[in-house]
Amino acid sequence: MSRYLFLVFMLIFYLGACTSDDEECVFQPEVKPVELNFEMLQDSFMHVSSKNSLVNLLTRHPAVRDFMFRRADYPNDSAFVNQLYDRLSNPHFDTLHMEVKRVFGDASDLKGQFQEAFSNLKYYYPDFVPPRIQTIVSGLIDNDLLVTDSLIVISLDYFLGPGAKYRPKMYEYLLRKYDPDDIVPSCLLIYGIGNRFNKTQQSDQTVIADMITYGKAFYFAKHMLPCEPDSVFIWYTPEEINGSRNNEDLIWARFIESQVLFSTNKKVKQDYLGERPVTIQVGEKCPGRIGQWVGHRTDEAKIAAIGVRVRRWVTLH
């Protein structure tokens, strides 16, 4: 362990120069509010009176049909329509629909958050055209979210939060992403990770390159919602955030000891960047996606400089 102490000390020094209080607002520009094209489609699907009317509705909304309801998973149109119509007619679906109304109401809060984010995005990228936004209730069976340059579709029943009668069937650490306030940050992170707003060197498939990409995505999302706490974007509990901060030296030591930063191995990437309850390679209490968190905490120029120094150090030793 002693042979790594100097390098770890150096890393901590660089990290200390670029971290900040997670709860502070970043720069808030003076913006002109953009207009939203926002459609709540769940009532239309809920009140279809026949299979023919369902087909007509799906034909008008092909993205909902093909991606959100996953038409390709069915052997033919008839099987797809019959199954979906039965689902929409199920009494449990009516209960789920009422839950969505209870939590989201007229979606004014959701609309307001999208308008804030897209108004800021328009400030930084004047050519940006806000996508259409559509909401549905899927029955917690199909996809939760579709985000493209021109269209966002949200299955609101996935995002009802801890007090909901029905929740997605997944591990608790994954359910953190499915509260009402997670919808807009999730969309922004998807935008932030893509090449449209995050230019990356596609040929660099190393862990440290991915860390930089994630860090830039978090930076992008944070500036679109300047006063949202960082925990909304990283989905860590307060205990996990504090524990990760307090153990940054250990995290970096593990990265160096295990030669993680310049690895392109898929398993290594999953271990340090992927969804997991814990990053056991660092410690039993270290949360998953720890490489993403380090990228989020560390300025791009700093982490790149660290990478150069690590590469030189490894070469010399």
Residue spans of the chain under pLDDT 70 = 1-23, 298-317
Q: Are 7 and 121 in contact (CB under 8 A)?
A: no
pTM: 0.86
pLDDT for the residue numbered 295: 87
Can you give the pLDDT at residue 160?
A: 96
pLDDT of the residue at 23: 59
Distance CA 72, CA 69 (A): 9
**One-letter identity of residue 69:** F
Query: What is the pLDDT at residue 313?
Result: 45
pLDDT at 39: 97
- 104-133 burial: b if 16+ Cβ within 10 Å, else e: beebeebeebbbbbbbbbbbeeeebebbeb
Q: d(Cα 77, Cα 85) in Å, to the nearest integer?
A: 12
pLDDT score, position 24: 76
Distant-in-sequence, close-in-space partners of 290: CB < 8 Å, separation ≥ 6: 244, 251, 272, 279, 282
pLDDT attached to residue 17? 41
